[in-house]
Structure 1
Amino acid sequence: MQLPFGDGSVDICYSSNVLEHVSEPWRMADEMVRVTRPGGITFISYTVWFGPWGGHETAPWHYLGGDRARRRYFRRHGHEPKNKFGESLYPVTVRAGLDWARTQTGAEVLDVIPRYNPRAARWLTRVPLVREVVTWNLVVVLRRR
């Protein structure tokens, strides 16, 4: 997965609710940082798998497993969900986002916050397990070095 832009070619690289739809989300995030110019901003926001809408239209049944939720959706609606677990929907977690952000050598992490109610809920990103359920959507903002 490579973005069709040269290194440092954009001022702002923005992704909203895409990361959970690619099979290699952190490779995509690395690419976003790569194409951002030094001093530029990379903004990544994604739906957290264990949040209430992590399974998208299969929620809340994704809590019992993505494949199981997909099968249940098919039985109930007579067709596959638009977002198919393992094909176009992947389980991306808060922890994975925090781990990825910590490893960034080419960018400074400016903020990691819940997208919804960021001021009130910011502290929740520091509470393991709880953050996975109550952070519906995580935002990671970086400045390219």
Structure 2
Amino acid sequence: MTAQYTHGHHDSVVRSHSWRTAENSCGYFLSCIRPDMHILDVGCGPGTITADLAKRVPQGHVTGIECSAEDVLQTAREQAAAQGLTNLTYSIGDVLSLPFSDASFDVVHAHQVLQHVPDPVLALKEMYRVAKPGGIVVARDTDFSAMTWYPKSSEGISLWHTTHMNVGRKNGGEPDSGRRLLSYALEAGIPRQQITATASTWCYSAAEDVAWWSSTWADRVRLSTFASSALEYGFATEENLEEMSSAWKTWGEQPDAWFALLHGEILCRKC
């Protein structure tokens, strides 16, 4: 059993994920980080969060892993080198069977990963296993059903939303994992008193943010693995994909365009 990633690693996806930083994606646990910590970043993608975390642990080390996409990892290595970062490494690894010994890391982090994993409870067990006593396991995931946007005049984005959830579940994931993180952690055997569950949002409303968000999705719905999967599973036609792409472009041109994403978060302390 391996993780099955709905989006794939097309340039449009990597471009979108490269926007992510520790500041806009990890605020719920940044105060826990010390300069000498060893951190594991699970599902690191293009490594922008990984690199930001490495800057916060100059006397420590960060390890980023992806279950596939060696080319994406190589780009992450090159970007880290360009920033002069020497305290991080990238490698292939599966969160369902982490290639590390017990109690190896002070922080084990997963951002937008558990929603794509066929067994998020096993993933959290593995993350907890490799965390040191006194360390933390942290995860943040989108809750797709809680996404909301304005204007809602076009049916194309609503069609995208429904299709995306159908594809994610067909791939064995759960697009509404954000609301389930606390439940996953409890099922993984982590004591309730060791878990802090919170939520935060991304909101795109500034003109440049709206333009970026709409353009990336206009490309992703036609060119990423999501598109090929939607066609293969019969959830969409080529005409549907074009309708979704056009709707994203049109939405991004509206002066009152606004989009908000809710994320669930858990911080689990290991005693």
| 1:46 aligned residue | 141
The partner residue of 1:114 within 195, 199, 203 is 199
| Contact persistence 2:114–2:177 (CA under 8 A) | no
TM (norm. structure 1) is 0.60
Q: Note closer, same or farther for the CA distance 1:65–1:142 as it changes in structure 2 (3 Å cut).
A: same
| 1:97 aligned residue | 181
Q: Note closer, same or farther for the CA distance 1:105–1:29 as it changes in structure 2 (3 Å cut).
A: closer
Q: Where in structure 2 are there 5+ consecutive unaligned residues?
A: 1-95, 149-155, 203-259
Helix, strand or coil for the counterpart of 2:145? coil
| Contact persistence 2:139–2:266 (CA under 8 A) | yes
| 1:137 aligned residue | 263
Cα shift readout 1:11-33 (whole Å, capped 9, x = no counterpart) = 11011111111111121111111
Looking at CA atoms only, which structure, 1 or 2, has the larger radius of gyration? Answer: 2
Taking the aligned partners of 2:179 and 2:264, their CA distance within structure 1 comes to 10
The partner residue of 2:112 within 1, 11, 17 is 17
Helix, strand or coil for the counterpart of 2:126? helix
Taking the aligned partners of 1:5 and 1:20, their CA distance within structure 2 comes to 22
The partner residue of 1:35 within 130, 137, 141 is 130
Q: How many residues align?
A: 110
| Contact persistence 1:106–1:144 (CA under 8 A) | no
Greater than 4 Å deviation, 4+ residue runs = none
Q: Note closer, same or farther for the CA distance 1:9–1:66 as it changes in structure 2 (3 Å cut).
A: same
Q: Note closer, same or farther for the CA distance 1:135–1:63 as it changes in structure 2 (3 Å cut).
A: same
Q: Note closer, same or farther for the CA distance 1:30–1:107 as it changes in structure 2 (3 Å cut).
A: farther
Report the Cα offset of residue 143 of structure 1. 0.8
| Contact persistence 1:42–1:143 (CA under 8 A) | yes
Report the Cα offset of residue 111 of structure 1. 1.5
Structural RMSD (CA) = 3.1
| 2:103 aligned residue | 8
Taking the aligned partners of 1:107 and 1:4, their CA distance within structure 2 comes to 27
Taking the aligned partners of 1:108 and 1:32, their CA distance within structure 2 comes to 18
Q: Which amino acid aligns with 1:116?
A: T
More helix by share: 2
| Contact persistence 1:13–1:32 (CA under 8 A) | yes
Report the Cα offset of residue 48 of structure 1. 1.5
- Ranked by relative contact order (alpha carbons within 8 Å, sequence separation 6 or more), the top structure is 1
